[in-house]
Every structure is written in structure tokens, then in C-alpha cells.
Homo-oligomer: A and B are copies of this chain.
Amino acid sequence: MKLYSYWRSTTSFRVRAALNIKDIPHEIVPVNLVEGEQRAAPYLALNPIGGVPTLVLDDGTVLTQSMAILDWLDAAGFLPRLMPEDPIARARVLGAAFVIACDIHPVNNLKVLNYLKERLGHSQDEAVAWMRHWMHEGFTAFNELIEPGARFCFNDEAPDVADLCLAGQMINARRWGLDLAPFPRLVEIDERLRKIPAIAQAMPEAQPDAM
């Protein structure tokens, strides 16, 4: 498999971590979002929205959207599972994960920030305030939705997709200086997650395109 990925992309991170946890051999193909490689014709032919990640299977099948790829990795039988088998437990994990995947991340995406700055004339400070606003609001809800008292977001044994979404979003929270004081449990879970080698190896600084 080939994973098209950008080192600082938190959606790429989710899939990198899942591939590592499931011990699936793969090649990382860097896509430089800052230089606009995601909008070049060869990449758009793979991923028409021009985002990362994209997973290309050995038979050439192309899968896009991190949450669809995570779903596929479980559906295709790669172990360990990252979503519970029980439908209600699964719905709760996904309900929390989508707070990050839908309510936080898309609104803070690079292309959205570029629109704010380039087309609407906002400063970097205003863009950072925007990002912090959605992270604060989303983390507040996420914190309510996860299982009280568990070592990870929902269980004591191993991370699931809610944990991968959290660990990814925490990369951006630290990068953009979100005040994490209101979220001690999220900080604690994130520290636990970053000690897992499969997750540490998915972090931005461990990527071949890290700068």
C-alpha cells in the first residue's frame, strides 16, 4: 500500500497511526500541502478534493477520506480492530470521533484558513483565534462524550478511532497554543497515546517530509 500523506496533516496522522497499529506494510508518499502539490493534476486524479490522506492499495484501488479509510481498515479485517464490534459501543466511539473529524478539523483546514487570510483579508492572529475557538468548543464536547474514567477515550486496553482523532487534533492544539488547562483528561490520554510506539512513529516529526 501507498499512503499519500503530509507530515503535519492530522487526518494523515490518523491513518498513519492506524496502519502502524495494525502493522500493515506501507510506503509513505509525501504531498507538500504548503507548496500546493495537492492541487496538481496527477494528485487530483487520485483525490479530487485535493486533500490528504489517500491510500492506494497494491491492486491500484484508491481510497480517500481518513474516516472512510479507517472504516475500511476494520471492515477489511486488519487487526486489531479500531472500532468496537458492538453497534452501540461503535456508535458512541464514532459519535465522539466525528466531533473532531467534522466539528473541529474541517473548519481549521489549511484551505479554510487560506480563504480567511487571502480572500477575506484576516490576519494570522485572527486565523489562530478562529482555530482555537473551534478546538476549545469541540474538545469541550469531546470530553463529555468519552467514557468517564477510562485510560484511553473509551476503554482501558487499547486506542480506538476516537483516540486517533484526539491524538491528531492535539498536535494542532499544541501547535496553535490552545489553552489545554480546561482539558486535563484529554492531555492525560494524549500523553498515554504518544507513548505507544505505533502512534509515536506516526507523529509529524517522525515523517520523511518533516521540516
Known: A61-B88, A130-B115. A68 touches B95 (CB 8 A): yes
Question: Measured between alpha carbons, how far is A133 from B130 in the docked complex, in Å?
Answer: 19
- Which B-chain residue is minimally distant from A145 (CB atoms)? B48
Q: Which stretch (A135-143, A152-160, A191-199) binds chain B?
A: A135-143
Known: A48-B145, A120-B122. A71 touches B88 (CB 8 A): no
Contact between B49 and A103 (Cβ–Cβ < 8 Å)? yes
Contact between A67 and B51 (Cβ–Cβ < 8 Å)? no
Contact partners of A98 in chain B: CB under 8 A: 65, 67-68
Contact between B94 and A65 (Cβ–Cβ < 8 Å)? yes
Contact between B94 and A71 (Cβ–Cβ < 8 Å)? yes
- Which B-chain residue is minimally distant from A116 (CB atoms)? B120
Contact between A99 and B130 (Cβ–Cβ < 8 Å)? no
Contact between A72 and B101 (Cβ–Cβ < 8 Å)? no
Determine how close the nearest CB of chain B comes to the CB of A112; give it in whole angstroms.
Answer: 6
Determine whether A106 belongs to the interface, using a CB cutoff of 8 Å to chain B. yes
Determine whether A102 belongs to the interface, using a CB cutoff of 8 Å to chain B. yes
Determine whether A20 belongs to the interface, using a CB cutoff of 8 Å to chain B. no
Determine how close the nearest CB of chain B comes to the CB of A15; give it in whole angstroms.
Answer: 12
Q: Give the bracket for the number of chain A residues in contact with chain B.
A: 35 or more
Determine whether A87 belongs to the interface, using a CB cutoff of 8 Å to chain B. yes
Determine how close the nearest CB of chain B comes to the CB of A155; give it in whole angstroms.
Answer: 17
Question: Measured between alpha carbons, how far is A120 from B112 in the docked complex, in Å?
Answer: 14
- Which B-chain residue is minimally distant from A106 (CB atoms)? B106
- Which B-chain residue is minimally distant from A87 (CB atoms)? B75
Known: A48-B144, A49-B137, A76-B87. A94 touches B67 (CB 8 A): yes
Question: Measured between alpha carbons, how far is A145 from B64 in the docked complex, in Å?
Answer: 9
Contact partners of A51 in chain B: CB under 8 A: 103
Known: A67-B102, A68-B94. A112 touches B122 (CB 8 A): no
Contact between B126 and A120 (Cβ–Cβ < 8 Å)? yes
Contact of A72 among B63, B75, B91, B126 (CB under 8 A): B91
Contact partners of A94 in chain B: CB under 8 A: 65, 67-68, 71-72
